[in-house]
Structure 1
Amino acid sequence: MENSNFAAIDIGSNGARLLIKNVIEDAGGNYEFNKVLFLRIPLRLGKDVFTIGEISPERERMMMCMIKSYKQLMKLYRVVEYRACATSAMRDAANGQKILKKIRKETGINIEIIPGSEEARLLCDNSVESGYARKGNYAYMDVGGGSTEISMISDGRIVGSCSYNLGTLRILGGAVEEGEVEKMKEELAAYAADYKDISIIGSGGNINKLCRLYDSGKGKKSKDTLPVDGLRKVYDEMKGMTYRERIDRYSLKPDRADVIIPAAELFLTVADALGCQQIHVPNISLADCIIDGLYKKLKDSPIKA
């Protein structure tokens, strides 16, 4: 594994990603990851699942073509090990298991449907190991198309982890169960009573984009920190615009221009419930965490790859 390529396939409710990273390990056991390839397809499984309850034939066709393409790219880049994971939309899809079985038969790619608790743990563990939450109180928050994962961290230790069926596409599709938002607010308020001065660590494409929009408005980098007041200002500017106006004004991709509004609302709701003043945005994705965990598992195994 001294110089090897690892891959992660992350099939979310909004987009599906292939990330390939090269890991270089020295004689002392120190290692470094470098991105080789990143590809994102706006598959939008949640658009089907959160309205009709299953994945449509057309999106199934798109998904099959995508996985076949990802397999060839992993061959091209000589990937030594990969892990493919699907999250909220596939968890809820009535025909999800049937489709994954068909994909496995035709491509040989095994896609795991991981529970929200594992999704939260993968994201949170990577954040702690990267040094973002070793001291102080934090809420690691990842907003996806179908769910929001929140892990509470105190001095580098996970003290609580929750997954809520509150995702951007689920909200846009009107598929949020009554009481889910209040449940989240009440549980977070309980944490805030026990842990003071909490900051959010934000994950996901929407908060990354919102942070960049805040930076562009200031004309300088904020060192990956987005003040909650700054997020509120960006949100207030965007929410009065039409979908087309957001695309033109902020150069947003079409599959970002709609979901960015409910994403901002979720971050603001959580910030209010926890009394947070700032959001750290380290740009760590689930795909990064999958590769990190995959490499460490192989590195620690008795038989080295």
Structure 2
Amino acid sequence: MKILKFAAIDIGSNAARLLLTNVVEDGETVVFSKSSLVRVPIRLGEDAFSIGYISELRAQKLLKTMVAFKNLMEAQDVVAYRACATSAMRSSSNASQLVEMCKKHADIDIEVIDGSREAEIIYANGIAEMLDHDRPYIYVDVGGGSTEITVFEKGEIKASKSFNIGTIRILKGMIGKPDFDQVRDWIKSIVPKMEQPKIIGSGGNINKLYKLARKPVGESLSQKEVKNLFEFLNGFSVNDRIKLLSLNPDRADVIVPATKIFLKIMKWSGAKEVIVPTIGISDGIIRTLYNDYKQQPVIQQ
């Protein structure tokens, strides 16, 4: 048996995450086992979506976080890592300077990926393995700056698109009806006559909703349950969600707009339930890292 440790860094609009995963090789069997997850709420989207660049304050927070992640990876004997930045960095005019800064002072290489690449990495999670090929699925990943939607039919990708609709953009009043209309029209054009699809939900907010619903592991969330959670959470102020519901401050404000996005997509697609496998872009990065690692040529001593 052989155990390898890989690391994924996901620099999102709301937080930066370091996922450490053990990959256990035992003959033909390969098992991916999450070791630890560190999450730092930098909120790059607060700057990127309002002033168009990352301020010095948040740039320094990003750098400190990358230095910490680098030290953790070295202490954990990580075989390989990949760092991907998404919507906030895509929207920042000084993204290239931040990438250079993190490379120089933290020795971390950051890839700023576009929406289609983000969807590809998410798909690498082994989503196809969990699909019933006799029915359609819609994979939805809701982030702070964007929402990635992938439609599956017969276990294959039928269509995939990234929309600049995210929880931080909504909180900042940057998203209006025309933006949601684009999502609605796209979904209806892709799934006009499909039998009732199921949604596969991804992202920290849907994972938190799943925990709040206290569902047994493996059970999906119904549309009614998602709606009830939306109304329940919306009935509290942000402060009360922190004090009474024990939500993290950087989760307490974004969870309501995230739930709103899921409800709209369920309505437009006709989906009546959401499967929550608790996977995201970090898991997809690990999978792609491992595949790349296995394809490297073996050097004979």
Deviations 1:119-151 (A, max 9, x none): 112212324344245442000000000000000
CA distance in 1, matches of 2:219, 2:103: 39
Q: Work out whether 1:244 is the aligned partner of 2:243.
A: no
Structure 2, unaligned stretches of length 5 or more? none
- 1:68 offset after TM fit, Å? 0.5
CA distance in 2, matches of 1:56, 1:231: 36
Deviations 1:5-31 (A, max 9, x none): 11000000001000111111122x321
Write the mapping of 1:150-165 to structure 2, written as runs, cut at 5 A.
150-165=149-164
Q: What is residue 3 of structure 1 aligned with on the other side? A: 3
Judged with a 3 Å threshold, the aligned counterparts in structure 2 of structure 1 residues 267 and 85 are, in CA distance, closer, same or farther, namely same
**SS of residue paired to 2:84:** strand
CA distance in 1, matches of 2:192, 2:210: 28
CA distance in 2, matches of 1:235, 1:85: 30
Q: What is residue 26 of structure 1 aligned with on the other side? A: 26
Q: Which amino acid aligns with 1:255?
A: D
Q: Work out whether 1:78 is the aligned partner of 2:59.
A: no
Structure 1, unaligned stretches of length 5 or more? none
TM-score normalised according to structure 2 size: 0.95
Two-structure CA RMSD over aligned residues (Å):
1.8
**SS of residue paired to 1:234:** helix
Q: What is residue 15 of structure 1 aligned with on the other side? A: 15
Deviations 1:244-266 (A, max 9, x none): 12223321111000000100000
Q: What is residue 69 of structure 1 aligned with on the other side? A: 68
Q: What is residue 272 of structure 2 aligned with on the other side? A: 277
Q: Which runs of 4+ in 1 moved over 4 A?
A: none
Q: Which amino acid aligns with 1:268?
A: L
CA distance in 1, matches of 2:79, 2:126: 25
CA distance in 1, matches of 2:277, 2:91: 29
**SS of residue paired to 1:84:** strand
Q: Work out whether 1:257 is the aligned partner of 2:249.
A: no
CA distance in 1, matches of 2:252, 2:101: 33
Judged with a 3 Å threshold, the aligned counterparts in structure 2 of structure 1 residues 265 and 304 are, in CA distance, closer, same or farther, namely farther
Aligned pairs, number: 300
CA distance in 2, matches of 1:181, 1:243: 24
The 8 Å contact of residues 203 and 284 in structure 1, kept in 2 or not, is answered as yes
